Chain A
């Protein structure tokens, strides 16, 4: 226990001197880094534009509200596209992440080398934002819903794959040994001992990712990959702020609804 001797009194302290010095160093270092970063940001900012922000905001809201309610009729189709991008993208991600996670989990992988390749795929998929995937895919397969589906799917592989293989690694050994003892083939062992243990968590993760994907699918259209983002981009570029307001309301309602659905389904599964 860090106790310091001052004259002949003993003083209790929470940390010893070395730890305290390190903590102070950490705080000072962090403050310095933040200060330098702030200088960079502030240098790249036109402060006179920031100064009139409250005015801009009130004007902005004034232009957005009341929203153009009639525009809603043109939004049903993009909304349906957005839903499809999210759902089909999640299914695509699920289809790839499912086998991949068995290759990536320590206890089911056929070979360590295969495991590293699977882990690399998962990490790369996770580090690239779905909007960047969308940029890339719009360049390859052209603008449209298909690029959006692939973008969402590719981004979902990493997320679902990581959570899947972690839950495979957490499975209990005993059912595996029991099924192996009956002389089952490796595939039978997988489907009768590991799969029943992980299926609820797989379903939960997939629904959770679907909920996130609905949110992501609302923006992939900004780079041309279909969905309601296309309308958002067009309305912003045309300075049609009352339409933008309408789109914001629609997105808000849809995302809240999908979150509610996903929470209900996950509750039912677990």
Chain B
């Protein structure tokens, strides 16, 4: 009987690694490990506080199972209504402003100075987190929902204009040429050649931004810019965890509902 030759180990198939170059791979791995060790060492953990935290965590969890909607319902209602109105206004104004800014930030439509200005505005808006922008607007306009609206408008413009500009830069140039050949003005060119190509996605993105604005409107209140955030923070600071859990549940349900609706609307538009 012929003996079966052992399979040569060098012929065995191996999964190809994610990073092909071995030098880059090892440098990345070692660098990442070094960073991880340093980073984890810098995290200070206070075991005594953590032990107390477990108790408090249990109380919070218990409060979540029995949320108190009743005792502060008028505050919750007012906060939620304010958040919702802020979201509606900010989304509508944001879309209206982001259209000209988006056109200005598209390299194939705008002259260089306007392009640079609009891009700078977008970068500024996208770099800072909403809450930081809210601090500035609260200083400018005083406490209240108006500062929150301005914050959300500013953030919406950064988000929508960037995506709109990228969309415009990728449009089919044939239609632009066709309209231009009829001797149309710049405005007509935009209306008949550019807008029809980008408006379906713009509407979809606008609805998507509505979701994001609702989520953000729940936190700008922490720095005094209106909405449910202030009520939530007060509830936490007073250890009213059952009220806080009620607010959180209302926020989650509201966000889920709008996400569901906006998903259906966006699916029907496309």
Contacts and interface: CB of A to CB of B under 8 A. Distances in A.
A270 interface: no
Contact of A56 (B123, B140, B223): B140
Nearest to A142: B49
Interface stretch (B4-12, B102-110, B143-151, B165-173): B143-151
A88 B149 contact: no
A141 B53 contact: yes
Given A60-B140, A141-B49, A37 B88 contact: yes
Contacts of A57: 140
Query: Size band of the A side of the interface?
Result: 35 or more
B141 A128 contact: no
A140 interface: yes
Contacts of A189: none
A236 B135 contact: yes
A135 interface: yes
B132 A218 contact: yes
Interface in A208-228: 215-216, 218-219, 222-223
Query: Size band of the B side of the interface?
Result: 35 or more
B141 A139 contact: no
A111 to B, nearest CB: 23
Interface in A129-155: 129, 131-132, 135-136, 139-142, 144-146, 149
A50 interface: yes
A15 interface: no
Interface stretch (B35-43, B68-76, B181-189): B35-43
B248 A53 contact: no
Contacts of A135: 222, 232-233, 236
Contact of A252 (B82, B128, B222): B128
A171 B265 CA distance: 26
Contact of B215 (A33, A127, A144, A232): A127
Nearest to A215: B129
B132 to A, nearest CB: 6
A131 B43 contact: no
A142 B141 contact: no
B129 A144 contact: no
Interface of B: 15, 18, 35, 39-40, 42-46, 49-50, 52-53, 56-57, 60, 81-82, 84-86, 88-89, 92, 123, 127-129, 131-132, 135-136, 139-142, 144-146, 149, 215-216, 218-219, 222-223, 226, 232-233, 236, 239, 241, 244, 248, 251-252, 255-256, 259
Interface of A: 30, 33-34, 36-38, 40-41, 44-46, 49-50, 53, 56-57, 60, 80-81, 83-84, 87-88, 123-124, 126-129, 131-132, 135-136, 139-142, 144-146, 149, 192, 196, 199, 203, 215-216, 218-219, 222-223, 232, 236, 248, 251-252, 255-256, 259
28 contacts: A34-B88, A34-B89, A37-B85, A38-B89, A40-B82, A41-B89, A41-B149, A44-B145, A44-B146, A45-B141, A50-B141, A88-B40, A126-B255, A127-B252, A129-B216, A129-B218, A129-B219, A140-B53, A142-B50, A144-B44, A146-B43, A215-B128, A218-B129, A222-B223, A248-B128, A255-B127, A256-B123, A259-B127
